[in-house]
Amino acid sequence: MRIATFNVNGVNGRLPVLTRWLTETKPDVACLQELKAPDEKFPELAIRKAGYRAVWHGRRAGTGSQYLRVRGCRRKPVVVCRAT
């Protein structure tokens, strides 16, 4: 299993960079920091098109934002603990 992390520093502004990174590295699990986007602005459709399912907790400020996704998982990941 390949687990990778990426400080995305603004998920919507860097979406092309993120999807290219996912395509090149093909992690099974990717943890992203600093989404800098509220939940309703998260690009879930683009992430699904890249072949990933997502669990996320976005905020406008980058501090503490995180995102987890699992490649090739048919079921939606379960949130065990979500930071506030």
pTM for this prediction: 0.74
Write down the pLDDT at residue 38: 83
Domains with residue ranges and CATH for the chain: 3-71 (3.30.110)
The residue ranking higher by pLDDT, 75 or 55, is 55
25-50 tens-digit pLDDT: 988 888 888 888 888 888 989 998 98
Contact 11, 21 (CB under 8 A): no
Of 14, 20, 18, 12, nearest in space to 31 by CA = 18
Q: Residue 52 in contact with residue 26, Cβ under 8 Å?
A: no
